Amino acid sequence: MEAGQRSLPGAALAGALALAAALAACGPRADDLPLQVEGGVPVGAVLSLTSNANAYGQDQQIGLELAQAWHQKRRKADSPGAPELSLRLEDGGGDEATATQAFNLLIDAGVVALVGPTLSQQAFAADPIAQRRGVPVVAPSNTATNIPQIGGFISRVSAPSTEIAPLSIAKALELNPSIRRAAVFYAQDDAYSTSESAIFQKALADKGLKPVTVQRTQLNDQDFQNQITGALRQTPDLIVISAQAVDGGNLIRQLRELGYKGSIVVGNGMNTPNIYPICQAYCDGILIAQAYSPELDTPMNREFVALYKLAKGGAIPPQLTAQAFSAYQVVAEALQRLNKRQPLSQFSLADARKALMAELLSGRYDTPLGEIAFSPDGEVVQQRFHVAQVQMKPGSLNGRFALLP
């Protein structure tokens, strides 16, 4: 009697799970229903608004908000027949499980396309789900290699590190041709930093500069004295860092405090004004390759910069914001073109997703990043990249990414 009672909850649990699974298997499939266009075509976004990746998520959130406002305005002014978009933003946290869950949630809610997730590591987990269910994904910030290769429904507007990272090395050598001894630092427990560092090291080797030392750090490290003294013993005149904003900022500060005077090149993880308060005056002079230039002189970018300045009290937009804006713009314009060809309300949800993906890849887009297009497998094709040098205002926590010619 006693044992029988005890195992009852277990049986109930198993029963409930089996029932849920059975219900799920035979329920109606949202994919076959017509696309819901009442109140705007549903588009989803998954950004890291919490966890320690939120420094990036916040930049991106502003980009999406500006893009929404901009699209609304333009729709009213130029093309009243264009479809309205209704954006649903979900927090993707900083881990795989949360991003996966957010993707599932939005796909089940019937979104026609997804923007996100913030981190490449999350993309490897969440993108295959969208791919299996046939939902177009436009990644605004994944720079690791092999992301668009996850499948035909995955694309990105963020140029991969393989294209961008070597530029800053070349620029550093151009500014100071006497550089002979390069040291490399990277956060070894971070997917982005590890893969970008490999690209940096290859770029150095291509220039005939074999790193004199490679130092590994951890994302949560605060104190880098061991690695720094180890590196400075080799008297480097160029230090190349792949780390995220917080740990990288601290690393630069400590490098300068311990007396390093040479050039510093950093990767995309520190490509946000959020580093200024961390390394403060010591940020001055570091080199970062950019996929976006606020000084790009096109009508689209001028409009974007003006919108950003209005929203943020005169600040200059960072790359992540521009890329998120572009991702939304790509989805909106592709939907608009598709709608012109065949009204969206005539599509079933599954067909709309498929048609949108084809439309998305075939178009050209005049974005704040400049004119972009996609290769057939979803990789961004971007014309221009830039290298910026951080210039801090003396005695303040403010600075800017000054583009180098």
Q: Kindly list the residues in this chain that would bind another protein in the complex (CB under 8 A).
A: 2-3, 5-7, 9-11, 13-14, 17-18, 20-21, 24-25, 27, 29-30, 49-50, 90-91, 95-98, 100-101, 104-105, 108, 121, 124-125, 128-129, 132, 144, 146, 150, 187-191, 193-195
Which residue lies nearer to another protein by CB, 14 or 402?
Answer: 14
| Nearer to another protein among residue 27 and residue 313 (C-beta) | 27
**CB 9, min distance to another protein, A:** 6
Closest approach, Cβ 32 to another protein, in A, equals: 12
Residue written as tokens 């580093």?
275
- Complex with another protein: residue 10 or 376, whichever CB lies closer: 10
Nearest 5°: the CA angle 266, 272, 275 is 75
Provide CB contacts within 8 A for 290, sequence distance 6+: 164, 271, 319, 385, 386, 387, 388, 401, 403
What tokens appear for 224 in the block?
Answer: 């880098």
- Please, what is the minimum distance in Å from the beta carbon of residue 346 to another protein? 24
Strand partners, 400: 391
Q: State the minimum distance, in angstroms, from the CB of residue 160 to another protein.
A: 14
* Residue closer to another protein (CB basis): 12 or 310: 12
CB 34 within 8 A of CB 350: no
Quick one: 194 or 298, whose CB is closer to another protein? 194
Q: Which is nearer to another protein, 96 or 163 (CB)?
A: 96
Give least dist CB 153 to another protein, A: 14
Q: For another protein, which is the closer residue by CB, 142 or 336?
A: 142
Nearest by Cα to 170 from 61, 59, 88, 287: 287
CB of 92 or CB of 368, closer to another protein: 92
**Closest distance between another protein and the C-beta of residue 105, in Å?**
7
Query: Any long-range contacts for 308-316 (C-beta under 8 Å, 24+ apart)?
Result: 308/62, 308/66, 311/62, 311/65, 311/66, 312/62, 315/273, 316/273, 316/400, 316/401
Shortest Cβ 194–another protein spacing (Å): 4
- Cβ nearer to another protein, comparing 36 with 193: 193
Q: Which is nearer to another protein, 191 or 316 (CB)?
A: 191
| Cα–chain center distance at 9 | 45
For residue 370, the minimal CB distance to another protein (Å) is 29
Task: Please say which residue, 217 or 367, places its beta carbon nearer to another protein.
Answer: 217
Q: How far is the CB of 25 from another protein (least distance, A)?
A: 5
Least distance (Å) from another protein to the CB of residue 219? Answer: 9
- The least distance separating another protein from the CB of residue 101, rounded to whole angstroms, comes to 5
